[in-house]
Chains A and B, each alone.
Chain A
């Protein structure tokens, strides 16, 4: 039995809310939008993530964490039972320098999926969807044992009582 997309959205929102020290809370993703096969989220500007001290621009590594997470969320929704799959590979093209001080917005979609691979793509922009600063392809491999417990019982527990996902 699978959770619904609404429950999954609440589950991840709760996960982003908790104060636990982890990579999600460091990056502070906001404005999550999630539907079957698509995900959109933002990463606010954060001085801790600067990759070039002369320009103040955030490191490409932080952007890769954003697009990996966003594509992972989209990939989770196309499975019979909504659940995360591990990343197989990730390829990014940087078409321009982002502006410092502005959030990075990632929009991801699943464009094909089979029993063995979920193919996703995304673009990262700063408000103008016609001029993305980066595009990426991220592939996931579904496995039998999900890497994060998204069973109805656990999702209900996390959504109602918070705590560790």
Chain B
């Protein structure tokens, strides 16, 4: 790890997040993740992402419900942070960059109510250039799935 030289402010925060095994540091380094109000926790040995109710994420004030775009954004940011936290640092001497989305597909299976929303990620395949990630979003309990997504990210 000492061989990796941080070049930007983001590199520096990334290094800290890995050294301290604290993904929340990455949230503070990514303005959109911070704007959504994302919280990252370590649950049962894996990263779990939380989107607490925040007014600026409301899409339909009369229900109220969270905007589908905010949910999709939460899912994509979760996948990005998940990939950044799981890079094998032994394989590189360059600090990794924020993965770039290539394609993203989300299914909305239930209305996303204005309550705590959780996401878990699974890296289906990580190659040298590309990663395939699945994201699952739920509310109240983990069997109450509100959305699922799959995506490809370019790693560089």
Contacts and interface: CB of A to CB of B under 8 A. Distances in A.
B44 interface: no
Contacts of A67: 69
B68 interface: yes
B74 A61 contact: yes
Nearest to A67: B69
Contact of B72 (A51, A58, A68): A68
B54 to A, nearest CB: 9
Interface string A57-73: 01111101111110000
A114 interface: no
A47 B104 CA distance: 23
Contact of A51 (B32, B59, B65): B32
Dominant SS among interface residues on chain A: mixed
Contacts of B10: 53-54
Nearest to B99: A52
Given A87-B68, A91-B105, A164-B61, A53 B29 contact: yes
Which 10 pairs from chain A and chain B are nearest by CB? A61-B73, A65-B69, A59-B32, A23-B67, A21-B55, A64-B72, A50-B31, A91-B105, A52-B98, A22-B58
Interface of A: 20-27, 47-54, 58-62, 64-69, 86-94, 97, 147-149, 164-165
22 contacts: A21-B56, A22-B56, A22-B59, A23-B59, A23-B66, A23-B70, A47-B31, A48-B32, A48-B35, A50-B30, A52-B30, A53-B9, A54-B10, A59-B30, A59-B33, A88-B108, A89-B106, A90-B106, A91-B106, A92-B103, A148-B62, A165-B61
